Amino acid sequence: MPAELVPGVDVPAALLWDFDGTLVDSEKSWHAAEARLMRTWGGGTMTPVQHHALVGNSLRDSALAIMGWSGVTGEDPDHWAAVLNDWALEDMVEVGVDYRPGAREFLATARAAGIRCALVSASWTQVLEHVVDTMPAGSFEVIVGGDQVTHGKPDPEPYLLAAQRLGLAVRDCLALEDSLPGTASAENAGLATIAVPFEQVIVPATRRRLVPTLEGLTLAEVGALWQELRDA
C-alpha cells in the first residue's frame, strides 16, 4: 500500500523506472551500435532523426528499422537485436554511462523512504545488470529487460510483468519514462506516468505529466502528481 510521507500526500508503493534516457544517459552507446549496424549493411550514415526514431523501441524493432533504411532483406532481426545488444554493452564497458540529472539522487531518496523500485527497459538484462551492479545493493528489487518479454514497449507487457513480480497492483505504482514508446507502454498497462523528455517530444496526457528534470524533485511533489494521475 502507498505510504504517507507528509500530511495528506501519499506516495506510490513502487517506482517503475525506464533505463535508457531516464535513469542513465546510455543513448550514445545505442546510437553507436545502431550506426555500426547501418554501416555493416552499407546503409551509410544514420541521421539524428533516425536515431531519435529508435529511442525506446525494442531491439528487434530497431534492427528491422535499420534493415529497412539500409535496403536489406532476408536478415534475422532477432539475431541482429542480439548483436546490437552486444555492441552497445561493449561501448558502455569502454566509455561508461552517466546518470541523468537528478536520477541517482532521486532514486536514493525513494529507496531511503521505503519506496520499492523496478527497472523496466527495452535494453536487455545483460546491459541492465552491468550498470545495476555498480549501484548500491538493493537499488532495484526487480529488473525487466527487453529479452524477458514477448512484446516490448510500446506494448504493456514489460510494465505489467514488473508490477506482477513486485506483487503490486498497477494503481499503486508510478512509471518514470522519457520516450514515446515507453510512455505508451506504461499507460497501456494502466500506470500513472511521469515523463522526463530527453530525445523525443512528449506532451501531457490524461495519465501523464511532464517534468523537465528529476533534479530537485521531491517525494511530496511526486506523490501529488501520482494521486492526480491515479484518479484521472
CB-CB neighbours of 121 under 10 Å: 27
pLDDT at 83 over 70: yes
Same domain for 191 and 144: yes
pLDDT tens readout for residues 206-222: 999 999 999 999 999 99
Same domain for 168 and 63: no
Segment 195-203 mean pLDDT? 90
Same domain for 157 and 114: yes
> Cα–Cα distances in Å, from 111 out to 106, 126, 217?
9, 23, 14
What residues contact residue 147 under an 8 Å CB cut-off, 6+ apart? 85, 124, 125, 126
Same domain for 70 and 89: yes
CB-CB neighbours of 99 under 10 Å: 16
Backbone φ and ψ of 223, nearest 5° = -60, -40
Cα 207 from chain centroid (whole Å): 17
- Residue 28's pLDDT is 87
Give the mean pLDDT of the chain: 92
Choice among 3-7, 16-20, 81-85, 101-105 with the minimum mean pLDDT:
3-7
C-alpha cell at 135: 549501484
- Residue 18's pLDDT is 97
Which of residues 78, 95, 112 is at a domain's end?
95
CA–CA distance, 93 with 152 (Å, rounded to integer):
24
Q: In the chain, at which residue ranges do the beta strands (DSSP E only) sit?
A: 3-6, 9-11, 14-17, 24-25, 98-99, 116-120, 142-144, 173-177, 192-195, 208-210
Location of C-alpha cell 519506496? 115
- Residue 55's pLDDT is 86
Cβ distance 36 to 30 under 8 Å? Answer: no
Q: Which domain range does residue 18 map to?
A: 3-25+99-230
Which of residues 43, 77, 95 is at a domain's end?
95
Same domain for 217 and 161: yes
- Residue 8's pLDDT is 56
- Residue 6's pLDDT is 47
Same domain for 45 and 104: no
Number of domains comprising the chain: 2
Segment 183-212 mean pLDDT? 94
CA–CA distance, 174 with 169 (Å, rounded to integer):
11
- Residue 10's pLDDT is 86
Same domain for 175 and 85: no
Domain CATH for 210: 3.40.50.1000
Same domain for 108 and 223: yes
Same domain for 175 and 65: no
For 56-78, letters b (16+ CB in 10 Å) and e give bbbbbbbbbbbbebbebeeeebe
- Residue 4's pLDDT is 46
- 231: pLDDT confidence band, cut at 50, 70 and 90? confident
pTM reported for the whole predicted model: 0.87
- 2: pLDDT confidence band, cut at 50, 70 and 90? very low
pLDDT at 7 over 70: no
Same domain for 55 and 11: no
CA–CA distance, 124 with 148 (Å, rounded to integer):
8
CB-CB neighbours of 197 under 10 Å: 19
pLDDT at 134 over 50: yes
Same domain for 107 and 87: no
Which of residues 95, 114, 141 is at a domain's end?
95
Same domain for 85 and 175: no
Query: DSSP of 96-130, one letter per residue?
Result: --EEPTTHHHHHHHHHHTT-EEEEE-SS-HHHHHH
pLDDT at 147 over 50: yes
